[in-house]
Amino acid sequence: MSTSETRDRDSSSRGSSLSGKIKSMPGSFRRFQEARPGSLRRYLVLLFLIPLGYLSQVCIIPYFSLGGVTPNLLFALIGIITVAYGRVQALWAGLFYGLLLEILLPSIPYLNLAVYPISSLFVSFVFADKTLRQLQMDRALRKEKRTMPAWLRTLLCAMANVLVYEVIHVVYIYLGGTPLTLSHFRRALRDVWLTGVLTLAIEFPLRRLILGKRVVVPKLKNQPIVFSKK
């Protein structure tokens, strides 16, 4: 038997043994494939979640007002979408909500239509997950940093969006000739922390619905090379 045939047989036996080991793992890779960002289930959940969020904001959330201020469920969902899906999906969600609010519940002209998508996009640059290319670049340049937990980034993303909205709202009121009082700022801050509380209440079950069960993906570690003296 030739040397090339022996090498081919050894490589095929190693490949079959490696594939057998992977198949013997308890469904980790299968569940990981189901929870990957491009899976169909995740986008079906997104298509269901966005219109349901608007209907809940209009029909249910007004019953949970505190001091005449209701939490912003839409920005809470945008925060969840930003961290669970990414920047593009957050932009589309903000555009969808801004367009619906501008058409069906107009307040200050073009405020919702402009702020929702723009704020969702720019805030997502801070709190969304980095792409694989960005992670590789950071690793190559040795810029690796400890990232915040996903639940904390979701909370801060929702609160940052509400803060941007309330700041622009207060500026609109001031430019419209209405004198600003302390109640305007109290109302804005109350909206920020109420939305934060709402985000904490809904983000864990919704992330579980979007991402599925948390799976620890096994990592292949290189074994050290040991030189023996003869």
- Return the structure tokens found at 196: 């934060």
Buried/exposed 100-126: b ≥16 CB within 10 Å, e otherwise: bbbeeeeeeeebbbebbbbbbbebbee
Q: What's the fold here for domain 31-128+149-211?
A: Arp2/3 complex 21 kDa subunit ARPC3 (1.10.1760)
- Alpha-carbon span 158 to 210, nearest angstrom: 17
3-state SS, residue 186:
helix
Say which residues have a Cβ less than 8 Å from residue 213's Cβ, sequence separation at least 6: 31
Helix (H, G, I), strand (E, B) or coil at 108: coil
Task: Name the token pair of 135.
Answer: 């992670």
Question: According to the model, what pLDDT value does residue 221 have?
Answer: 55
Domain boundaries, the chain: 31-128+149-211
User: How many alpha carbons lie under 13 Å from residue 36 in its C-beta half-sphere?
Assistant: 9
Average pLDDT over residues 15-32: 44
- The whole-number average pLDDT for the span 130-144 is 67
What is the tens place of the pLDDT at every residue in 29-76? 444 343 444 478 888 999 999 999 999 999 999 999 988 899 999 999
Give the up-direction half-sphere exposure of residue 208: CA atoms within 13 A in the CB hemisphere: 5
Q: How confident is the model at residue 132 (pLDDT cuts 50, 70, 90)?
A: low
DSSP per residue, 124-164: HHHHSPPPHHHHHHHHHTT---PPPPHHHHHHHHHHHHHHH
CA distances from 199 to 148, 166, 206 (A): 16, 17, 10
Q: Which residue has the higher pLDDT, 189 or 2?
A: 189
- C-alpha–C-alpha distance, residues 7 and 39, integer Å: 38
Predicted confidence (pLDDT) per residue in 147-203, tens digit: 789 999 999 999 999 999 999 999 998 998 889 999 999 999 999 999 999 999 999
- The residue that leads in pLDDT, 209 or 27, is 209
Q: What's the CA gap between 25 and 63, in Å, rounded? A: 49
Q: Would the CA dihedral through 80, 82, 88, 94 be positive or negative?
A: positive
Quote the pTM value. Answer: 0.74
